[in-house]
Amino acid sequence: MINSTIRFLLNNQVVTLENIDPNLTVLQYLREIQFNTGTKEGCASGDCGACTVVVAELDRENNDQLYYKSINSCITFVGSLHGKQLITVENLKEKTKLHHVQQTLVDNHGSQCGFCTPGFVMSSFALHKHNKTPTRPQVLEALGGNLCRCTGYRSIIEAAITTSVDVDDDSFSQHYQTTLATLTELQKLPAPTLTGNSHHFIAPKNIDELVYELAQEPKPILVAGGTDLALSVTQNLATIDKLVYIGNVKELTNIEQTDTEIVIGSALPYSQFIDVLHHYYPDLGEMIERIGSKQVRNTGTLGGNIGNASPIGDMPPALIALGATMTLHVNGVERTILVEDYFVDYKKTVLKPSEFIKSIQIPKPTANQTLKLYKISKRFDDDISAVLAAFFIEQDSDKKIINVRLAFGGMAAIPKRASAAEAVLQGNTFTKESVVKAKLALATDFQPMSDVRASDKYRMTVAQNLIEKCYLELQCHVIETRVVNYA
Ligand SMILES: Cc1cc2nc3c(=O)[nH]c(=O)nc-3n(C[C@H](O)[C@H](O)[C@H](O)COP(=O)(O)OP(=O)(O)OC[C@H]3O[C@@H](n4cnc5c(N)ncnc54)[C@H](O)[C@@H]3O)c2cc1C
Ligand code: FES
Ligand code: FES
């Protein structure tokens, strides 16, 4: 069954969209169709946060609760709003009374020209909806995707830390049950579609509907968070004829655990699985916190990160080092392969026509297994890696390395293991001498390229030094080797 409209709550009003080009972003919809120009456009590529809005949706685990998240409206396709509430800056204040989040920003002198202010307000609003007394690191995490060119961050951060706890008595809390009931009804509608300018969007609700759509000609393009794909529209000015949105497919938005592995649905956003991975692999949790910004992690997915097949995607090297597997699905038939075997050449993968990534299986650690991860980028937050190193090391009781996988991103056309360096370490103890040999062997594993992010020489030197850093960290856990307080 198909529903030929998109329906969502714009603040507290149900809106129905039809006859609108599905290549339209939420930002364009707000500014050019609704004339809600409070939401600003800065970069149109997810980098500045000026366009931040908040989306409330039914909580994945407790359908009787709302989950509020900040997103970049400039890289979100409008069709993905179906069944959700879109909250914009215009709607925060009640009559003449500013929302607590806004008032505290004013009280702290957190705005000068005001261009970035709506974005900061919305990021802070989303944070306070979940966390009444956020700590400074939590505030930094929530605001890491918002740039301000004139006020300076101190007063903005102070405002977010000191926002009073009664954010809970705002109009959104007062309308909570009505919003919940409306979204529940909208979610019961059949799979929504949108057609405009001869372009099509469809949001299947389960795998059978997805498989059906993928079998049609012309072949559609899959979109999950859109944080990679939407850039082709906003930056390269491409148009996409047919989009199939997988963020509503229930089998792809699950997370499950067995005794031995964590199974993550390909369309589940990072924010919804980061805690589980952090629990088992602290380095991985810390690294995911540096993928894009909070807004990007609230929509971006593991399936999109792997599916994009970028040589500088952050998750593939980590997954390869962990020996993770992925399940691919085509027309009712599934196969499970190592993530390592997915990548063939630059942007080439083993994915067949109509096939999609269903889930990613990550083994849980056993005793004496360690994962060390290093993301090298010019900025700490919201930056693409020049090099990503992921080292999985298993040692026996004599500290002999019995299992090693060293995987790198940014060093070749695909994320790849360093087999020569691994061979040096396998079966030996980690010593200064074996580190020197592994570093030399690494030079035979890769011939990195130079680009705007880093030169070939820098990439090789930093990759070699990361093996040494890993050695030092494993030798002595008390030496501080990482930046832990950066603001
Ligand atoms: C400001 C900004 C910062 C970023 N920072 C980082 C960063 O630090 N590290 C990093 O690694 N990435 C970063 N990215 C890139 C991006 O956010 C990630 O790659 C993200 O994981 C993509 O997921 P998505 O769901 O948004 O993918 P989408 O854009 O929806 O899809 C990406 C591609 O994968 C395909 N695809 C999606 N799902 C599937 C599936 N289930 N099966 C098969 N194919 C699929 C799509 O067709 C598309 O070709 C950043 C992006 C932005 C805009
Ligand atoms: S306009 Fe810069 S993140 Fe959207
Ligand atoms: S107040 Fe001017 S950009 Fe932030």
> Same domain, yes or no, for 180 and 121?
no
Q: Starting from the CA of residue 231, give the closest ligand.
A: 1
Q: Say which ligand is closest to the CA of 42.
A: 2
Nearest-angstrom CA–CA distance, 293 and 143: 8
pLDDT of 168 > 90? The answer is: no
CATH of the domain at 73: 3.10.20.30
Q: What is the DSSP string of 427-473?
A: TSB--HHHHHHHHHHHHHH--PPP-SS--HHHHHHHHHHHHHHHHHH
Say if residue 257 is in the same domain as residue 380: no
Whether 18 is covered by a domain: the verdict is yes
CB-CB contact of 373 with 283 (8 Å): yes
Spacing of C-alpha 440 from chain mean position: 35
Tell whether 483 is covered by a domain.
no
Domain count, the chain: 4
Judged by phi (left if over 0) then psi (alpha if -120 to 50, else beta), residue 441 lies in: alpha
Q: Does residue 408 share a domain with residue 351?
A: no
Domain endpoint, select from 123, 150, 169: 169
On whether the CB atoms of residues 345 and 414 are closer than 8 A, the answer is: yes
- 4 — pLDDT class (breaks 50, 70, 90): confident
Give residue for tokens 């500045």: 48
Q: How far is the CA of 62 from the centre of ligand 1 (A)?
A: 27
Q: Which of 215, 245, 275 is the last residue of a domain?
A: 245
Residue 167 reports pLDDT greater than 70 = no
Q: Which of 316, 336, 363 is the last residue of a domain?
A: 363
DSSP bridge partners of 349: 343
Among 117, 124, 146, 157, residue to substitute to test ligand 3 (most atoms within 8 Å of Cβ): 117
Rounded Cα distance between 457 and 334, Å, is 42
Give the distance (Å) from ligand 1 centre to CA of residue 297.
10
The pair of three-digit structure tokens given for residue 402, joined into one six-digit string: 């019995």
Which residue of 47, 151, 157 sits with most ligand 3 atoms within 8 Å of its CB, as the best mutation to test the pocket? Answer: 151
Max Cα–Cα distance, the chain, nearest Å:
70
Task: Tell me whether residue 484 is in a domain.
Answer: no
pLDDT band at 477, cuts 50/70/90? confident
Co-location of 179 and 240 in the same domain: yes
Domain assignment of residue 482, yes or no: no
Provide the residue range defining the domain that includes 24. Answer: 2-90+174-245
**Whether the CB of 303 sits within 6 Å of ligand 1:** yes
Domain presence at residue 487: no
Query: In whole angstroms, what is the distance from residue 266 CA to residue 166 CA?
Result: 37
**CA 219 – ligand 3 centroid, Å:** 43
Residue 70 shares a structural domain with residue 187 = yes
C-alpha of residue 359 to centroid of ligand 1, in Å: 15
Q: Is residue 410 part of a domain?
A: yes
Q: Has residue 196 got a pLDDT over 70?
A: yes
In a domain, 486, yes or no: no
Average pLDDT over residues 94-111: 94
- Same domain (yes/no): 103, 143: yes
Q: Report which of 480, 420, 412, 476 is spatially closest to residue 448, judged by C-alpha positions.
A: 412
Q: Rounded to two decimals, what is the model's pTM?
A: 0.96
Which CATH number fits the domain that encloses residue 126? 1.10.150.120
Mark whether 226 and 263 lie in a shared domain: no
Averaged pLDDT for residues 266-292: 97
390 and 439 share one domain: yes
pLDDT for 235 equals: 93
Task: Give the pLDDT mean for 282-305.
Answer: 97
Taking residues 199-203, report their average pLDDT: 96
Q: Do residues 294 and 315 both lie within one domain? A: yes
Same domain? For 28 and 98 the reply is: no
Report the alpha-carbon distance of residue 267 to residue 242 in Å, rounded: 18
183 with 165, same domain: the answer is: no
Whether 166 shows a pLDDT value over 70: the answer reads no
Mean pLDDT of 241-261: 97
pLDDT at 487: 54
- Strand ranges of the sheet holding 199-202, from the earlier edge strand across to the other edge: 2-3, 191-196, 199-202, 242-245, 221-223
Q: CB–CB of 77/226 below 8 Å?
A: yes
Q: What is the CATH number of the domain that holds 306?
A: 3.30.465.10
152 lines ligand 3 (CB under 6 A): no
3-state secondary structure of 103: helix
Contact 208, 284 (CB under 8 A): no
CATH number for the domain harbouring residue 458? 3.30.390.50
Do 356 and 421 lie in one domain? The reply is no
Ligand 3 atom at minimal distance to the Cα of residue 114: 1
Residue-averaged pLDDT of the chain: 95
Rounded mean pLDDT, 401-413: 97
Q: What is the pLDDT of residue 480?
A: 77
Give the residue, by CA position, lying nearest to ligand 3 atom 2: 113
pLDDT at 483: 73
CA 52 to centroid of ligand 3, rounded, Å: 14
* Residue 485 lies inside a defined structural domain of this protein: no
Angle CA 283–72–63, to nearest 5: 75
Model confidence band, residue 382 (pLDDT cutoffs 50, 70, 90)? confident
Residue 132 pLDDT: 87
| pLDDT exceeds 60 at position 165 | no
Is the pLDDT score of 17 beyond 90?
A: yes
CB of 142 closer than 6 A to ligand 1? no
Q: Compute the average pLDDT of residues 56-67.
A: 94
d(CA 24, CA 39): 15
